[in-house]
Amino acid sequence: MPAVRHASFAPHVAPDTRLLILGSLPGVRSLAERQYYAHPTNQFWRLVGEVVERRLVDMPYEERLTVLREAKVGLWDVIRSAERHTSSDSLIREAEAHDLAALVADLPDLRAIAFNGGKAAAIGRRQLPPLEGIAVVDLPSSSAAHTIGFAAKLERWRALRDAL
């Protein structure tokens, strides 16, 4: 199957964002539904729900985004567009990165940037200037394909509460 060029979504941030969570590129299901982390096996909404202490998985998508905005959590992806024919990060080719430095410069209250998975961290860290006073954290991927257990992921993700 030939690779198709996919583009990510607009950032979901507000001027008072304190925590910015960056993924790699939305998967096939997310692109089809125009929603971050739409695949039902992806553990993102459970994990970030624990961070903000709300049960996000039971909420409609727009309400989830509202809760994150109120909690001062922003979402985006490090890749602007790339070629890929499945949802696997390992199959991303010809990636064009977003200008993360410009976004970070527009977020004066930012305390932490968290990369959701290794691919996001590998690409995203190269896009960031040296940051003073902003923690940069590599998280285990929320994808169910990332085989460490939920409890181990949750332990790492809960550390993000310090940024809020």
The two three-digit tokens of residue 103, written as one number: 């976004």
Nearest to 24 by CA among 102, 99, 117: 117
* Sign of the CA dihedral running 60, 56, 104, 154: negative
Q: What is the 3-state secondary structure (H, E, C) of the chain?
A: CCCEEEECCCCECCCCCCEEEEECCCCHHHHHHCCCCCCCCCCHHHHHHHHHCCCHHHCCHHHHHHHHHHCCEEEEECEEEEEECCCCHHHCEEEEECCHHHHHHCCCCCCEEEEECHHHHHHHHHHCCCCCCCEEEEECCCCCCCCCCHHHHHHHHHHHHHHC
Annotated active-site residue in 17, 24, 30, 42: 42
**Does residue 116 carry a catalytic annotation?**
no
Q: Give the catalytic positions in this structure.
A: 42
